[in-house]
Structure 1
Amino acid sequence: MLTEISAGRAFAPGHITGFFEIHDDPDPRRKGSTGCGIVINGGIDTVVTGYTENTEIILDGIPARAETTRSVIEQLVDFPVRVECTSSIPVGCGFGASAAGALSTAYALNDAFSLGMTSNQIVETVHIAEVINGSGMGDVEGQYFGGMPIRRSPGCPPHGVLDRVPTPSFNVHCIVLGELSTGSVLSDPVIMKEVNSAGRSALLALLSRPTVENFMHLSKQFTLKCGLASDRVMDAIEAVDSAGGMASQAMLGETVFACSANDAEEDIVEVLSTFGKVTTYRVTSSYQHP
């Protein structure tokens, strides 16, 4: 019979990357990415409970392998736990779900078992798990920082350096057209050479003019240069542009995200709905207009 010993709960938000550059390093704490993205109010809510039998990870009611989350558990505790994750973002589609699941699990473990970890220590643990499992290279830092995080140098704290694009909160509208394997892209040297060159240029251009509009423009240019977008993704991006909005591809996923700098939000949603189901999230920024 299973015996419950403790429980903890935590939430981690999703993170959509617009462009990035990978930085390799033998030290997983220094290995990672630079670039920019947006942190959304959808994410993964996790409940951790301690039991006396095998570790279980449940995602939306279904048993999951969740290698990154499992690595986090193995780093933090030496006994079996039950992890129940509920997601309000798509998994495997460029929303940083792997990092969100692992980050919320780490916070929940810290809460449940009084591990005494600081936030930086938790982020380091999750970052290492992401890098080792090839499921991400910078989402967790963005999720921890919030708003529109700019990853100026790679790795987890204290190695990674982050900044933000200052902006009031705004809506981002998304459609998911399929999945794109992060691991398959990161392991292709030809693709990564193009990605790193484009990502480096985009970051420099953003730092010279850190606005939402410039971020969206640079993200679209990054998408075009890297050639990772399908015809359907490109059709959706161009349709949003024609409707007066701004759109790009979520990295890495077969997903389009869009926003508006004017009053074109209804037009954006209408246009996107012709390609698939539209989900709207909120980007909560680092400051508000008075």
Structure 2
Amino acid sequence: MEMGLSPLVGCAYSPSHITGFFSIHDEPRNPLLRGSTGAGVSLEKGVVTSVYAQPSEKTHIEYVFNNQMFPLGEACIVKTVLDHYLGVAGEKYKILVEQQAAVPIGHGFGVSGGVALSLSLALNQALETGYTREEAAQIAHIAEIKCLTGLGTVLAEYYGGFELRTRPGAPGYGEVEQLSFPLDHVVVCVTTGPIKTKNILNTPTTKRRVNNIYANVVEEFVEDKSLGSFLKLSRRFADATGFETVEVQRLLKVFDRIDMPASMLMFGGGVFTIAHRKRLVEILKAVKTLETMRGWEIVVSRIAGRGACNL
């Protein structure tokens, strides 16, 4: 898409996010109050969004994700955020949205939340709509709820770091306790295939079971909010919920053999651990002994020291 000499520009970043254990709170009618409680870590590797906008006689939008153009009809969360900002702006624009994700989509990294959050911040900057950072994040949260792509991801990525979400909802409504973490540790993930979130938690019985398991896990976590406790209880949660695939179970056995606590990505076909940098080579060597690694992806990232922001 060609732009004039001085297009309006916005740029923003959001970390990605891994959830270890969670509880579902989707009863409120107000989407700002819907969400999840739980514990997780934000990864420094995330999503960067650039927006180029120019007033035009008619609205025209192009969307590029990881260097590939997509129709907006295939990107519910992007279209939802864009529709909100175009409605508020009250003008027609020619817009180019470019997004780069440093982690795979559909594998439990909260990419949809990062896409919505960084896009909302970038559009707010480019179109000069005047929202606060918190208000822009609320728009992203509502988009996630509407598109059924997540519940608590935006809240977690808004803050970054290692967190315990103690009250569900969008930023400004939900509450987060930010926890300390060692700077010499990295997150190591091995993905085996995508999982669609909306296909997993689609029955009241499953939701009740997950929430009951969470209640037992979080009661122990509040007594010891360390990364070690987080990994141990994440594994207990994953084992109890029964969401682990055969491939995930094989991977977990590999981590068990090298005495490295690990758990399933919630929700994605894969496993994660958090370890001292010195153990990285040992972990990668152990994982690569599996013969079925074709098509799998290994992601290594530091824990994000900041939440989503404009660049």
Report if TM-score (shorter chain) is over 0.5.
yes
Find the counterpart in structure 1 of residue 309 from structure 2: none
Find the counterpart in structure 1 of residue 50 from structure 2: 47
**Conserved 8 A contact 1:245-1:261:** no
Identify the match of residue 300 of structure 2 among 247, 268, 280.
280
Partner letter of residue 8 of structure 2?
S
Find the counterpart in structure 2 of residue 10 from structure 1: 12
Shift of residue 285 of structure 1?
4.8
The alpha-carbon distance between structure 1 residues 188 and 55, as it changes in their structure 2 partners (threshold 3 A), is farther
TM-score, normalising length: structure 1: 0.92
Structure 1 residues 33-44: aligned runs within 5 Å: 33-44=36-47
Shift of residue 2 of structure 1?
5.3
TM-score, normalising length: structure 2: 0.86
Larger radius of gyration: 2
Output the CA distance in 1 between the equivalents of 2:98 and 2:30. 31
Shift of residue 262 of structure 1?
8.9
Structure 1 residues 1-290: aligned runs within 5 Å: 3-4=3-4, 5-24=7-26, 25-51=28-54, 52=56, 53-64=59-70, 65-78=74-87, 79-80=92-93, 81-169=95-183, 170-260=185-275, 263-273=278-288, 274=290, 275=293, 276-285=296-305
The alpha-carbon distance between structure 1 residues 69 and 158, as it changes in their structure 2 partners (threshold 3 A), is same
Partner letter of residue 187 of structure 1?
N
**Conserved 8 A contact 2:190-2:297:** yes
Partner letter of residue 100 of structure 2?
T
Consecutive unaligned residues in structure 2, runs of 5 or more: 307-311
Output the CA distance in 2 between the equivalents of 1:58 and 1:285. 27
**Conserved 8 A contact 1:244-1:264:** no
Partner letter of residue 301 of structure 2?
Y
Count of residue pairs the alignment pairs up = 286
**Conserved 8 A contact 2:188-2:275:** no
Shift of residue 213 of structure 1?
0.5
What SS is found at the alignment partner of 1:219? helix
**Conserved 8 A contact 1:172-1:280:** yes
What SS is found at the alignment partner of 1:278? strand
